Structure 1
């Protein structure tokens, strides 16, 4: 009979240090889906817009690890973090550092909704944007409570979005038609 082994973050970081595109979620190691052209472009576009709009107000990290708990270390597509940069010297970002988390999803859409979103809600991440490439929608999740997001908004490409932490900023999340 095979024995299932669950990792803690320290073990995961040692064992998978040189393995590309893996995440630790609830003690299990997942190989992330390959990034296709649509995913790449959507993530790069949002990265550029967020960095430009939030310059001097927040830090934007691309595909960086997030220390959620002792058994979970995902790598979201984008993290909008509290400054200053020196805050992260010698450590990875934690939930209390995150102002906004962005996942871009095509083939990973159901996995992101069913596995990652509950983890983010449990950790108290205040806002998650799920760029739904399948339906060309932005799913905005807010108000984490008891492992779920209580507020969910769906935005079409023509509707701009404002980050919860920066309501004065309005961003076009998708290219103009």
Structure 2
């Protein structure tokens, strides 16, 4: 009979320190999907646009850990965080630090919607953008309550997006 072992963040960080592309979600370790060229390009392009638009206003991190709770530490594609950068010198960001979280999804679309999005809502992440490469849409999720996002907006590639915390910024996302 097989036994399932559930990890806490500290145990996960020790045991999987040198294992690439894994994340901890609700105590279980998941191997992340390989990054294809469309995914890599979308992340790099959004990073460049966010860095330019939010320089001096926010910290942008790419594919770094986010400590959601004691048993979950995902690695979102992009995090827009409260400054200054030095506040993250000795710790990973937590939900209180997050202004905007972005996931780029192609093969991971269902997983991101069904597993990660509820985790982000439960943690109180105020805004999540899901770049849906399959349908060429930006899914904007806001108003987390009771493990769900109450406000969902879909944007086409011709529509720019404005982060909740930076309404003056209009970003082309595609």
Name the TM-score class by shorter chain: over 0.9
Residue pairs, 1:16-55, within 5 angstroms: 16-55=16-55
State the distance in 2 between where 1:2 and 1:157 align. Answer: 47
- 5+ residue gaps, structure 2, are none
State the distance in 1 between where 2:171 and 2:93 align. Answer: 24
State the distance in 2 between where 1:105 and 1:89 align. Answer: 29
Q: Would you identify which runs of 4 or more consecutive aligned residues in structure 1 move more than 6 Å?
A: none
State the distance in 1 between where 2:2 and 2:22 align. Answer: 22
Deviation at 1:137, TM superposition (A): 0.1
Deviations 1:35-89 (A, max 9, x none): 0000000000000000000000000000000000000000000000000111112
Match of 1:5 in 2: 5
When normalised by structure 2's length, the TM-score is 0.99
Deviations 1:2-56 (A, max 9, x none): 1100000000000000000000000000000000000000000000000000000
State the distance in 1 between where 2:88 and 2:39 align. Answer: 27
Match of 1:58 in 2: 58
Match of 2:144 in 1: 144
Name the SS of the counterpart of 2:41 in structure 1. helix
Deviation at 1:90, TM superposition (A): 1.0
State the distance in 2 between where 1:105 and 1:85 align. Answer: 27
Aligned-pair RMSD on alpha carbons?
0.4
Query: May I ask how many residue pairs the two structures share in their alignment?
Result: 174
When normalised by structure 1's length, the TM-score is 0.98
State the distance in 1 between where 2:162 and 2:63 align. Answer: 21
Match of 1:171 in 2: 171
